[in-house]
A and B are shown apart, each in its own frame.
Chain A
Amino acid sequence: MTVFNGASGRTLILTAVLGLGLPLAGFISPSVADEHRVTGEAPGAFVVEDGRVDPNTYEGYIAYTRVCMACHGPDGLGSSFAPSLIRAAERRGWADFAGTIAAGREVQPGQVMPSFADDPFVLANMENIFSYMRARGEGGLGRGRPKVIESMEEEAEALREEAEALEEEVESDDTARDKQADD
């Protein structure tokens, strides 16, 4: 369920890109000085326009700052505790990136990445986090909380509503589960 909702969010972004009449290509097209985009259905798509981003990438920033920043430092820059995820996204690619989030990793004694397989919020946002990291790297997005590209704000609103609905669903699932357990 979670994954399906995430995927439908992605579709929204593709539509928006098409709507703007821009070429769809599976690579970065720095045709305008302050514009970077990676499009296509593969995870990691993003749009950066004058320092603003598409709604999924914005959600990626929020999710990163909630969950990953404590160890990986602000804005994906890395810390003394854990490496930069900007570089990790560049070097490792989606499968490795997602695999590490799901399974965790023991780098060396004293350096451990926990598994987030049981965290529905993280799982639902893995693609968004990946997009945000690629936007920070290849997309040249700067530090701090980005704004959403104005023409995409409606979509952002739709995404937020979707996310809220998802959260409620998770909660009602939990309630149902709890109820079952009680029974």
Chain B
Amino acid sequence: MLREIGFAMTAAGLMAASLAHANQNQLELQQNPEYWATQLGNYQGNRYSELDQINRDNVGELRSLWQFSTGVLRGHEGGPLYVGDGRLYIHTPFPNKVFALDLEDEGRVVWSYEPDQDSRVIPVMCCDTVNRGLAYADGRLFLGQADNTLIALDAETGELLWDVSNGDHTVGETNTMSPLVVHDKVIVGISGGEYGIRGHMTAYDVETGEQVWRGYSTGPDDEVLIDPETTTMLGEPIGESDLGVSTWPEGEWERGGGAPWGWITYDPDLDLIYYGTGNPGTWNPEQRTKDGEPADNKWAITVFARDPNDGSVKWVYQKVPFDEWDYDGVNENQLIDVEMNGEQRKGLAIIDRTGFGFLLDRENGELLVAEKFAPETNWADDYDMETGRPNVNEEFSTYRQGVGVNTTDICPTAMGAKNMQPSAYSPKTGLIYAGINRICMNYEPFEAEYVAGQPYVGATLTMMPSPMENGGMEGRMGSFIAWDPVAGETIWEVDERFAVWSGALATAGDLAFYGTLEGHVKAVDIETGEELWRFKTPSGIIGNVNTFMYEGKQHVAVLSGVGGWAGIGLAAGLEEPEEGLGAVSAFAALGDYTKLGGVLTVFALPD
């Protein structure tokens, strides 16, 4: 551990000379293991902490120090930031309040901020009024409001420094994501894939809020910021120009979705940001065919590697061409350095919506591994490693089955085998830890008509728990897994009654933490998954477990407050997978276990 910290400090020192001021500050902060300065813990998205004061020997004694109610009911995603100034910075779902809480004084409110937003934005948020949290650099906090206003606050006082509009909610654009600060820019995407928006990623100047660049997810190359001669796909130049237009039926790219609403990661050495784009517009695949044939609908469900300075695209990898299941490709791209066949590779690992665990080379986008982490996954048998395309199973192709046909028992659901809940990676074990969903669906496409600001969905879905495995928990809808991203196999798995919708944390104390929809925070042995500690918070957890050191003590903190897509979809319980099979009582309703309400809980070991 000491050696790794030493390396991190050296790297920070080298960076300082070449990079702009704000970036130097964020990089330094995130390399100090005492802080939790960015939502995913570091630029690489590893959600790993070097802290080991809390470990498998003493975690059983972990207790809550204090709790703080945010006064907001809806789903609380994201988590608190700690940057060493004695305060925790937290946020809420709509109306997007921000609080600075004093760690010295059991969470006393140092300042709070509440934006004034049009409540008409609420009905155009598909999956609850969630927000994935604040970003910080150089004394400024950045927040993407639901109504698309990006703001900078003075972290000391809570005073508004600047605000800028990043989108228009009257055409269905909204914001749920956490921005990321890279160099002197704050970068943010957009939500609204269910409203026929056209996705974009945009960079603003941290000092002034002035727009620096915007790269769209669909459309002509000069708006996507692709150069077909230099931008690569599976290691080769794309060659053909304007695929973001030509792989759609006439004009459909203009409402082609590809909303990048998940997490952004960043490699400071390669100076590239990485993110994935969402579903291609309407969920009815028939409306996205070209000349009666499936079309790729580029660049929806695609991993983008962009230069953060000008937005230009270095490489792309489309995980699902011609989506037929709403497998939004926005899940986090974890940057991990791995050894593969005796060679060191700069890897990029994804626990994807599709049920596949991907490993790519993050320098050139080459596909290295694609294996199922959710064994029930049946929409595709496997991936062709040459073409990078899935071998789709006809039986579960909603396009082949057709409009007005209810294609049944597709696994996973549109929620994905994993949704936005960010995974963790331990460099000690080389494994990824992730909360996942074990749910399947029936899917019936229908003709959707585009009206600006109205839902543009075009499919009817029902969901049920995925089929049982030997020895698994009956009717379980989620699991927490340890995944080997190089071997492409699950090392251990713990079943949970509900989908696991909280972000994971891995620590040098040989622990992995996660939250459950019933409201438990759990610590498990990182080697085996054995549960070592749990605490019941007042509501279900869809936030992320974060850790930091304050006055010589390691703290763990988490926002609870059920909601999100899980809070809507699972509240009433799911249907039985097949009539007459299994106990009805096993397919539990979330509403029987937890109710709404946002609370921050802070933990530490006793003195």
Residues of A bordering B, CB below 8 Å: 62, 65-67, 69-71, 73-75, 77-81, 84, 104, 106, 109-114, 118-119, 143-145, 167, 174
B177 within 8 A of A: no
- Say whether A167 contacts B451, CB under 8 Å: no
B120 at the interface (CB under 8 A from A): yes
Give the chain A neighbours of B574 by CB distance below 8 A.
Answer: 74
Contact of B462 among A74, A79, A80, A84 (CB under 8 A): A74
Q: Are B460 and A62 in contact (CB under 8 A)?
A: yes
Looking across the interface, which residue of chain A has its beta carbon closest to that of B128?
Answer: A81
Inter-chain contact B447/A167, CB cutoff 8 Å = yes
Q: Which of A62, A80, A110 contacts B94 (CB 8 A)?
A: A110
| A70-B126, A74-B574 known; A80+B590 contact, CB < 8 A | yes
Q: Which residues of A contact B74 (CB under 8 A)?
A: 110
List chain A residues, Cβ under 8 A from B589.
77
Contacts of B128 in A (CB 8 A): 81
**How long is the Cα–Cα vector from A78 to B567 in the complex, in angstroms?**
11
Q: List 26 A-B contacts (CB under 8 A).
A: A65-B460, A69-B460, A69-B461, A73-B568, A73-B569, A73-B571, A74-B462, A74-B463, A75-B572, A77-B589, A78-B572, A78-B591, A80-B75, A80-B590, A80-B591, A80-B596, A81-B568, A84-B572, A104-B123, A109-B95, A110-B119, A112-B119, A118-B454, A119-B454, A144-B462, A145-B406
Contact A73 B572 (CB under 8 A): yes
Q: Quick check: A110 and B72 within 8 Å, CB to CB?
A: yes
Other 7 A-B pairs with CB < 8 A, given A77-B573, A79-B567, A119-B451: A69-B460, A71-B568, A74-B572, A74-B574, A80-B596, A81-B568, A118-B454
Is the Cβ of B454 less than 8 Å from the Cβ of A65? no
Residues of A near B442 (CB, < 8 A) are: 145
A80/B562 in contact, CB under 8 A = yes
Q: Is the interface of B mostly helix, strand, loop or mixed?
A: loop
Contacts of A167 in B (CB 8 A): 447
Contact in complex: B571, A79 (CB < 8 Å): yes
The answer on a CB contact under 8 Å between A79 and B569 is yes
Distance in angstroms between the alpha carbons of A65 and B458 in the assembled complex: 11
Interface size on B, residues (CB 8 A): 43
B171: interface (CB < 8 Å): no
Interface centre among A73, A79, A111, A145 (most CB of B within 10 A): A79
Contacting pair B119 A106 (CB below 8 A):
yes
With A and B bound together, what is the CA distance between A114 and B575 in angstroms? 27
- Chain B residue at minimum C-beta to C-beta distance from A106: B119
Q: Is the CB of A113 within 8 A of B462?
A: no
> Smallest CB–CB gap between B563 and chain A, Å?
6
Q: Which residue of B lies closest to A167 (CB)?
A: B447
Q: A23 CB to closest chain B CB, in angstroms?
A: 32
Question: Whole-angstrom distance between the alpha carbons of A112 and B146 in the complex?
Answer: 14
**Does B122 have its Cβ within 8 Å of any Cβ on chain A?**
yes
Q: Does B73 contact A (CB under 8 A)?
A: yes
Q: Which residues of B contact A69 (CB under 8 A)?
A: 460-461
Name B563's contact: one of A67, A77, A81 (CB within 8 Å). Answer: A81
**In the complex, what residue of chain B is closest to A61 when comparing beta carbons?**
B460
Nearest CB of A to B35, in Å: 32
Across the interface, which residues of B come within 8 angstroms of A112, CB to CB? 119-120, 122-123
CB 8 Å contact bits of B577-597 with A (1 = contact, 0 = none): 000000000000111000110
Q: Within the assembled complex, what's the spacing in Å between the Cα atoms of A73 and B572? A: 6
> Is residue B129 within 8 Å, beta carbon to beta carbon, of the partner chain?
yes
